[in-house]
């Protein structure tokens, strides 16, 4: 399981991780906290399913939400940076997207997902287009987030 690899890498590098989840609804937090020893590296997460929580809990500027919508690169970036500050973690993941079954209010397609990774050296956001039903998209998004984090943790200069 990729989350086991991530947990081991976080422990070996003495780094902490938090998460801001929208379309995954807490799946990242669930998968990492299912593992023994997660409390040593995972202080917590925020499930921000609506814009008001993204703004109030994560500090996502309302003008970003208005201008770009919740499913966007700028909002994924702000979510990751916001939860990193909130949880006082070294690293933070964010996921925002459309899990379906229908397009969102901005007509974004089902399967469009933005995954952010905030680090001490900056924030990276990747765009994905997953397919399948709601469950498959949510699982793929969580897998994508763990994969992005594992890539970062295995780079030489971390």
Q: Residue 158's pLDDT is what? A: 56
Q: With a threshold of 0.95, does the pTM exceed it?
A: yes
Say what percent of the chain tops pLDDT 70.
98
Q: Residue 156's pLDDT is what? A: 63
In a domain, 121, yes or no: yes
In a domain, 115, yes or no: yes
In a domain, 33, yes or no: yes
In a domain, 12, yes or no: yes
What is the distance of C-alpha 52 from the center of its chain?
17
Q: Based on the structure, what is the number of domains in the chain?
A: 1
In a domain, 39, yes or no: yes
Q: Residue 157's pLDDT is what? A: 62
d(CA 37, CA 33): 8
3-state secondary structure of 125: strand
Mean pLDDT of 6-14: 98
Nearest CA-CA partner of 76 in 17, 49, 116? 116
d(CA 36, CA 47): 22
Domain range enclosing 7? 2-153
pLDDT band for position 85 (cuts 50, 70, 90): very high
Say what percent of the chain tops pLDDT 90.
97
Mean pLDDT of 90-101: 98
Nearest CA-CA partner of 90 in 34, 4, 6, 1? 6
């Amino acid at each position: 399981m990729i989350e086991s690899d991530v947990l081991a890498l976080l422990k070996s590098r003495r780094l902490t991780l938090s998460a801001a989840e929208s379309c995954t609804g807490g799946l990242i937090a669930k998968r990492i906290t299912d593992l023994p020893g997660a409390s040593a590296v995972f202080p917590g997460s925020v499930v921000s399913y609506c814009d008001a929580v993204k703004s109030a809990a994560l500090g996502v500027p309302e003008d970003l939400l208005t201008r770009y919508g919740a499913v966007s690169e700028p909002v994924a970036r702000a979510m990751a940076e916001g939860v990193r500050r909130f949880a006082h973690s070294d690293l933070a993941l964010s996921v925002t997207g459309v899990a379906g079954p229908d397009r969102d209010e901005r007509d974004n397609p089902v399967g469009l997902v933005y995954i952010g990774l905030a680090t001490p050296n900056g924030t990276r956001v990747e765009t994905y287009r997953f397919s399948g039903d709601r469950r498959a998209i949510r699982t793929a998004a969580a897998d994508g987030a763990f994969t992005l984090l594992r890539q970062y943790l295995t780079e030489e200069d971390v």
